[in-house]
A and B are shown apart, each in its own frame.
Chain A
Amino acid sequence: MPYPRGLSPSVAMTQPMKLSIGPLLYLWEREAVFEFYERLCQAPVEIVYLGEVVCAKRRSLALSDWLEIGDRLAAAGKEVVLSTLALSEAESELSAMRRIADNGRFAVEANDMGAVNILSGNVPFVVGPHVNVYNADTLKLLADAGARRFVLPVELGAEVLTALQQQRPAGMETEVFGFGRLPLAFSARCFTARAHNVAKDSCDFVCADYPAGLLLHTRERKPFLVLNGVQVQSARTHNLVGQTSALRALNVDVIRLSPQPEGMDEIIATFRNVLDGCLQSQQAARELLRYAVDGACDGYWHQQPGMDWSVGA
């Protein structure tokens, strides 16, 4: 089995934790996307996930554009992974998935079992956060199919991860969603189009007006969720920077930071400083509150409601 760049089968237990940038979940202007990744070439992160995960209609960047961005990042020393759609239904979406799987250059993150099926036995792949890995037997099954890294589903916390790590198949890397609004659900319905009283088929890409998603409040005006096309996210920003020593103790290999329009350089620098031992993690957690404009949360890590937050202000 050939190994694409970066995704190597053997990982020493003593390797330092890496930082990854998860796939861009929002629809940004094409230029803004190129600029974002150009800046990432210089950023202190090891892994960058690329591609459209949320909506198949968003095509302002073609696969060739993503590959071009990937080449630049790879030239800058980053491991590049191409992510597939979380919710694939149409034949055209499966064709797009096959083109990603056959890209020949970069590893692929599978975000549903359809992608797992296409990638099985062909190339090593990453199991994304939208594939349900809740126990060691499922993880073993995916390892046998060729998975070399998995992202813990966001609703699972330290307790399950501890058990999973104890039974983790040889060569499997573990990645944890460490910062960003949580991807909570997907639907066939576009909620951003619905907010504008238009059908998905005539959406006119209204989601491009919301580079950080469209905020949904409760009727008491409290921020609750974020509508991002067919995806629903948390309004609060999930932040595990305060848990870095626990993540390290559990031999987590990668911490994922999810792209947002504001403060990405500072968020990356803060995580990097904590991993390098230059910044105390509780202090980092408080410093990052300014980039969690609608509040922070880390409840899932503590086996609590995901919206809860354990760190004092």
Chain B
Amino acid sequence: MINTQRHVELVCPAGSLPSLKAAVDNGANAVYMGFRDGTNARNFPGLNFNGGEATAAIAYARDRGVRVLLAINTYPSPGQWEKWCAAVDQAARLYVDAVILADAGLMNYAARTHPQLKLHLSVQGSATNYEAISFYTRHFDIKRVVLPRVLSLSQVRNIIRRVNTEVEVFGFGSLCVMVEGRCVLSSYVTGDSPNTCGVCSPAKAVRWEESAAGRKSRLNGVLIDVYAPQEPAGYPTLCKGRFNVDGNVYYALEEPTSLNVLDILPELLNAGVAAIKVEGRQRSPAYVAHVTRVMRSALDACERDPEHFVPKPEWLAQLDKVAEGRCHTLGAYHRPWQ
């Protein structure tokens, strides 16, 4: 469905109340948040909201005309089913603008129990084509789908033409190389995955070791990378380590880098995306403020004059400064990346 609203929504991460305020104060149109437990895909220590905090956060955003989306986007096991349903119930009581769900069973529960609650299909729902999206629009009348970061720009365009719901795409932040919702690399190594526990390469499994060869990062004992003495070390997300394939040591899956769509912003707007999402509920309020401000400026400029839009070098520099690996990529949007 082509976006007919005038503005593309800038959706920013709110991992805490200070981050939510940073997003709201710097130009987000919507924020997304989660409860402080395994019901959301950024289940990190010290992040997210309990019921009372959520109420205060939502009020702050609402008073400033910013919409609030709540992510309940992990997959409940049978033993946890009631807890996930309770999270949906609580979201409905908080009158959030929409819940972002991944599990089809939970979506069924939400649609039946809270018909007034708007549903978004999370990127963790792993819908990469319009037939998959159609399953969710037919059964649950979802209002929006967040596309996995595996589609090229022309594929995004084609999906928007074919679906009867809004389409949200990722615009900036850490890049998942694998199709989201169907990657179990993290649980293969650590036991915990985004689907089951809301974490990837969890901090509790990380060990740093100093050695003659350099600084080693391990994930549950598996060597993810070795850094030379002066080399900056990154968090050992397991798909962003250096490995040995046929005697060559390199970033065999992906370099530490951030996704950044500023170079194709006019094309995305022209394709009819309804919203652009900034990744990073685990990042600091300063990061959220910084990225939100730059993305706001870029979006405003692009909407004013899409024909002549060129990303300003200072925007790119400012975003690279806070990007993973201090560099950026268009990821799968750009065919040669694939």
Query: Chain B residues in contact with chain A, CB under 8 A?
Result: 75-79, 81, 102-106, 108-109, 125-132, 134-136, 138-139, 150-152, 155, 158, 177-179, 181-185, 187-191, 193, 195-196, 220, 222-226, 239, 242-246, 248-249, 252-254, 332, 335-338
Contact = CB atoms under 8 A, between A and B. Distances in A.
B131 A220 contact: no
Contacts of B187: 155, 300, 305-306
10 contacts: A89-B150, A118-B131, A141-B108, A155-B188, A163-B79, A185-B182, A186-B150, A188-B179, A215-B245, A306-B184
A14 interface: no
A227 B245 contact: yes
B245 A134 contact: no
Contacts of A114: 127-132, 135
B335 A189 contact: no
Given A86-B182, A185-B183, 8 more contacts: A132-B195, A184-B183, A186-B178, A216-B243, A219-B223, A222-B223, A304-B191, A307-B188
Contact of A88 (B103, B128, B223): B128
A185 B126 contact: no
A141 B191 CA distance: 27
A140 interface: yes
A153 B187 CA distance: 12
Contacts of A222: 222-223
Contacts of A304: 191
Tell me which of B109, B158, B178, B248 has the highest count of chain A C-beta atoms within 10 A of its own C-beta. B178
A118 B110 CA distance: 24
For chain A, the bracket of interface size reads: 35 or more
Contact of B131 (A115, A188, A307): A115
A220 B150 contact: no
B315 to A, nearest CB: 26
Contacts of B127: 113-114
Contacts of A115: 131
Contacts of A87: 128, 150, 179, 182
Contact of A132 (B136, B182, B244, B248): B182
B244 A189 contact: no
Interface in A42-69: none
A97 B131 contact: yes
The main secondary structure of chain A at its interface with chain B is: mixed
Contacts of A33: none
Contacts of A216: 243-245, 252
A219 B222 CA distance: 10
Contact of B135 (A113, A137, A155): A113
A310 interface: no
Contacts of A86: 182
B188 A94 contact: no
B193 A137 contact: no
B105 A135 contact: yes
A304 B188 CA distance: 8
Q: Which 4 pairs show the lowest CB-CB distances between chains A and B?
A: A137-B105, A163-B78, A138-B105, A114-B131
A227 B243 CA distance: 12
A200 B336 CA distance: 7
B338 A190 contact: yes
A90 B134 CA distance: 15
A148 interface: no
Interface string A85-103: 0111111011001000000
Contacts of B254: 189
B108 to A, nearest CB: 6
A225 B126 CA distance: 22
A155 B195 contact: yes
Contacts of A200: 338
Contacts of B226: 219
B128 A227 contact: no
A137 B150 contact: no
Given A113-B127, A115-B131, A305-B189, A219 B242 contact: yes
A145 to B, nearest CB: 8
A155 B196 contact: yes
Contacts of B177: 187, 189
Nearest to B138: A117
Given A114-B135, A194-B252, A232-B185, A136 B128 contact: no
Contact of A303 (B126, B191, B223): B191
Nearest to B246: A195
B119 to A, nearest CB: 14
B222 A134 contact: no
Tell me which of B129, B158, B179, B337 has the highest count of chain A C-beta atoms within 10 A of its own C-beta. B129
Contacts of B77: 134-135, 156, 159-160, 163
Contacts of B158: 91
Given A86-B182, A134-B103, A189-B338, A195 B78 contact: no
A112 interface: yes
Contacts of B196: 134, 155
Given A135-B105, A141-B104, A189-B177, A154 B184 contact: yes
Contact of A217 (B75, B106, B150, B245): B245
B128 A132 contact: no
Given A89-B150, A134-B76, A185 B243 contact: no
B190 A305 contact: yes
A224 interface: yes
Tell me which of A139, A187, A199, A200 has the highest count of chain B C-beta atoms within 10 A of its own C-beta. A187
Nearest to B332: A188
A211 to B, nearest CB: 15
Interface in A168-208: 182, 184-191, 194-195, 199-201
Contacts of B253: 187, 189, 191, 232
Nearest to B140: A141
A94 B131 CA distance: 8
Contacts of A134: 75-77, 103, 105, 195-196
Contacts of A160: 77-79
Nearest to B336: A199
